[in-house]
């Protein structure tokens, strides 16, 4: 269980919604947290799964943890794993969802 910067953020990244399992499908969900990359993103509700990465918490203003995206790919490369082809070891899996691309 990841500790977030404040209670509001914790509530926002773990939305309790009975209707939608996927936060990208839920109009009330605002923030997506990627456990594998340690990234926070504002969900773009355009029917897809894109989000805009944020560096600061919109509620408490604290700087969010540094993205582990580069480290994640470096570590996979070091082990000779191709994330597009090979099955990922458990520690690289984001428990909830398969990988997706962040659109710029
Ligand atoms: Zn919902
Ligand atoms: Zn916060």
pLDDT digit string, tens, across residues 39-76: 999 999 998 989 999 999 999 999 999 999 999 999 99
Region 15-21: what's the mean pLDDT?
86
pTM summary value? 0.75
The reply to whether 20 falls in a domain is yes
In-domain check, residue 19: yes
In a domain, 2, yes or no: no
Residue 101 lies in a domain: no
Q: How far is the CA of 15 from the centre of ligand 1 (A)?
A: 8
Number of domains in the chain: 1
Residue 34 lies in domain? 7-92
DSSP H helical segments within the chain, as ranges?
A: 7-13, 69-78
Residue 53 located in a structural domain: yes
Residue 99, in any domain of the structure:
no
Specify the length of the chain in residues: 104
- 23 CA from centroid of ligand 1 (Å): 7
Whether residue 103 is contained in a domain is answered as no
Ligand 2 centroid from CA 10, angstroms: 8
Among the bound ligands, the one closest to the CA of 64: 2
| Token pair 């458990």: residue | 90
Residue 23 — φ and ψ, nearest 5°?
Answer: -60, -25
């Amino acid at each position: 269980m990841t500790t977030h910067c404040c209670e509001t953020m914790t509530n926002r990244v773990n939305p309790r919604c009975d209707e939608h399992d996927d936060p990208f499908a839920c109009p009330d969900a605002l923030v997506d947290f990627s456990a594998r990359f340690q990234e926070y993103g504002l969900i773009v509700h355009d029917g897809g799964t894109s989000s805009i990465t944020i560096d600061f918490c919109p509620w408490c203003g604290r700087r969010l943890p540094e993205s582990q995206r580069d480290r994640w790919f470096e570590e996979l490369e070091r082990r000779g794993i191709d994330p597009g082809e090979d099955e990922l070891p458990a520690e690289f899996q984001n428990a909830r969802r398969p990988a997706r691309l962040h659109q710029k």
